[in-house]
Amino acid sequence: QVHLVDSGGGVVQPGKSLRLSCATSGFTFSSYGMHWVRHAPGKGLEWVAVIWSDGNNKFYADSVRGRFTISRDNTKNMLYLQMNSLSAEDTAVYYCARDFYGGGRDPLFLFDFWGQGTVVTVSS
Amino acid sequence: DIVMTQSPDSLAVSLGERATINCKSSQSVFYRPNNKNYLVWYQQKPGQPPKLLISWASTRGSGVPDRFSGSGSGTDFTLTISSLQAEDVAVYYCQQYYTTPLTFGGGTKVEIK
C-alpha cells in the first residue's frame, strides 16, 4: 500500500526556519511528481509546491516563492520542504501528497494519496 | 487565479437522503483538445487528510462507492451523494487543476440531520 508519513512540524518563532520531511513507501517514488499542500486554521486548502519526478523542475505558490524550497531524494524515497522566513500566515497543517500521474510524466496537479499531515505553528 | 466557489457552506441531510454540493469556477476548466474538465472532488473526514473522490469532474476514484457521483462542465459542477450514509459525514472540497496556481473551493460540511 502507498504510505506517506509527514514529519518535522513544530512551534517556531517568526523569521525562523523549519524543514519538513515526507517518508514514502509502497510505490515507485522516483516515477511520481510530489506536492506539498497546507491547511491553515479556519481557511481552505492551499497548494504550496510541486516537484517533478526527477527533481529537475519545481513550482511554487506565490505566497511561498523565494522562502520555501521543495526537494526530494529518490534514493531514500523522501520528500522535503525547507521553509525559511516563516510568518504567522504560514501556520497550518502541512501535507505531502502524491501526484495522480506516475510513469515519470509531467504532474497533473491533483493528488491521489496524502500524508497524515504535520502541524507548523509560527508564534513568538 | 481561478476562484472556486462552493455552495452551500454546510448542509444537514437525513440518512438515506440525497446530498448535493455545488462548485463554480470563475473561468472554464474545460480543455477542448481532450474534452476533459480539470475538476476534482475530495472528501476530508475529521482528523484525516483529504481523500480523492472524483477526478475529471465525473470519474470516481478507486474504491469510491457508487453513491458518489460528479457532474457538470465548464464552470458549474455538482457532487451528489445519492443516499447519505453515516460514514459520509465530512467536508467536501472541489479543486481545479486546469492551471496554476491550483485552487480549492472553501469546502462544504455535510452532517446528518
Contact between B49 and A95 using a beta-carbon 8 Å cutoff: yes
Query: CB distance from B61 to chain A under 8 Å?
Result: yes
Tracing cell 446528518 back to the chain, one arrives at B112
Interchain pair B100, A44: CB under 8 A: no
> What local confidence, expressed as pLDDT, does residue B78 receive?
98
Q: What is the phi-psi region of residue A26: left when phi exceeds 0, alpha when psi lies from -120 to 50, beta otherwise?
A: left
Q: Does A66 touch chain B (CB under 8 A)?
A: no
> Mean pLDDT across the stretch B63-86?
97
Of B55, B106, B107, the CB nearest to A110: B55
Q: Which three cell numbers stand for residue B38?
A: 480539470
Which of chain B's residues have a Cβ under 8 Å away from the Cβ of A97?
Answer: 49
Q: How far is A112 from chain B (nearest CA, A)?
A: 6
Residue A71 CB: number of other CB atoms within 10 A?
Answer: 14
The cell numbers describing B14, all together, are 437525513
pLDDT tier, A116 (very low <50, low <70, confident <90, very high otherwise): very high
Spatial separation of the C-alpha atoms in residues A89 and A93, rounded to whole Å: 12
Q: CA-CA distance, B27 to A37, in Å (whole number)?
A: 23
